[in-house]
Amino acid sequence: MSEAPTAVDPRMTSGCAWIDGVYVPSAEARIPILDTGFVRSDLTYDVAAVWKGKFFRLDQHLDRVLAGAGKLRITSPLTKAEIRTQMHEVVRRSGLRDAYVEVVITRGVPAQGERDPRRWAPRIYVYAIPYVWIVRPELQEAGTAVVIARDTYRIPPTSVDPTIKNFHWGDLVRGLFEAYDRDAWLAIHTDGSGHVTEGAGFNVFALVDDVLVTPERGVLEGITRRTVLEIAAELGIPTRVGLVEVEELSAASEIFLTSTAGGVMPVATVDGRAVTADGMGPVTRRVRDTYWAWHEDPRFVDPVQYR
């Protein structure tokens, strides 16, 4: 890796990508059109957040992307330490203090006529762009409007393993359009049998009879989801990870969504029904405030060494 520049290249201020050993502005980053990650969605990826110049829980994100690659029988071209170095480097070169940093590992580009995936050479891409919000902070105070998707069920785990972060978003995008058509912002998907799963890039939590519940099946095991469960334990809030019936959302006194892209996001309405009087309940507020406070906790952060 070449020495990082002492000043930020102005072309990189909106993002920096590392592809084929070269750093380029994210807007100029290109991948081969025959990469199976593009043509077959044969890949895994992960996204870590940089907040105020510090990565949050970077080790957990690195462990998850490498575990996902292993489940897909893709050998990462880089080690965990090397991926960490490149994630830091794209942030350094961009100068971004609040960033959304993604690493993508694909099965690669097959030789002409080669159909045996064991013979393909995996590829890796890393980029940093300004921090992404699913629900922006000024909208979180009032809570967001969600619907339970009626037209599209979540892809079953027997077809696509949701614990491997992936680009199989056909069902999730359909859910977004359903939400917009029903005057909401986001959709929560079910498994088709009355159980809550997840939505487009987020996990779901509900406070039911003073217990914080979240689905265990058909979902990505989110790093923010894990963090919230740890926060709940520290705050003495009872939790349950298991099957969550759709009817439990109707009975919930508080609901919130979790994601690296936005943190802990309160839900104000579900299918037009108000969840709380003011959009954010007291348990949600405690969890959300603690979540952002942990972004300054040395136990969880990895500072970027800007130059």
For tokens 């579900």, the residue is 270
- How far apart CA 282 and CA 96 sit, in angstroms, is 33
75: left (phi over 0), alpha (psi -120 to 50) or beta: beta
What are the tens digits of pLDDT across the range 47-91?
A: 999 999 999 999 999 999 999 999 999 999 999 999 999 999 999
Top CATH class of 10-131 equals alpha beta
| Alpha-carbon 235 to chain mean position | 24
* Residue 200 neighbours by CB under 8 Å, 6+ apart: 134, 169, 172, 173, 175, 176, 186, 187
Nearest Cα to 264, choosing from 242, 232, 240? 232
- Which H helix or E strand runs over 110? none
DSSP 187-226: EEEE-SSSBEEEETTBEEEEEETTEEEEE-SSS---HHHH
Q: Please give the structure tokens belonging to residue 284.
A: 């949600």
Q: State the chain's mean pLDDT as an integer.
A: 95
- 72 and 164 in contact (C-beta within 8 Å)? yes
Lowest mean pLDDT among 8-12, 40-44, 121-125, 187-191: 8-12
Percentage of residues in the chain having pLDDT higher than 70: 98
- Domain 137-295 fold is D-amino Acid Aminotransferase; Chain A, domain 2 (3.20.10)
Average pLDDT over residues 118-122: 95
Tell me the average pLDDT across 287-292. 98
The tens digit of pLDDT for each residue in 37-47 reads: 999 999 999 99
**What is the mean predicted confidence (pLDDT) over 227-243?**
98
Is residue 96 helix, strand or coil? coil
The per-residue pLDDT for 3 is 47
Q: How far apart are CA 143 and CA 255, in angstroms?
A: 10
Q: Is 136 helix (H, G, I), strand (E, B) or coil?
A: coil
* Segments making up each domain of the chain, as ranges: 10-131, 137-295
Within a 10 A sphere around the Cβ of 5, how many other Cβ atoms?
Answer: 13
Look at strands 263-270 and 273-274 and give their pairing. Answer: antiparallel
- The arithmetic mean of pLDDT across residues 194-222, rounded, is 97
Decide if pLDDT at 285 tops 50.
Answer: yes
In this structure, the number of other CB atoms found within 10 A of the CB of residue 82 comes to 13
Burial class (CB in 10 A: 0-12, 13-18, 19+), 7: exposed
Determine if the pTM surpasses 0.85.
Answer: yes
pLDDT per position as a tens digit, 149-201? 999 999 999 999 999 999 999 999 999 999 999 999 999 999 999 999 999 99
Examine the pLDDT at 278 and tell me if it is beyond 90.
no
Please list the residues that pair with 202 across neighbouring strands: 199
243 near 216, Cβ under 8 Å?
yes
Length of the chain (residues): 307
Cβ–Cβ < 8 Å for 239, 108: no
Angle CA 228–70–56, to nearest 5: 30
- Structural contact between residues 25 and 128, judged by C-beta atoms closer than 8 angstroms: no
* CA 3 to chain CA centroid, nearest Å: 30
Average pLDDT over residues 278-302: 96
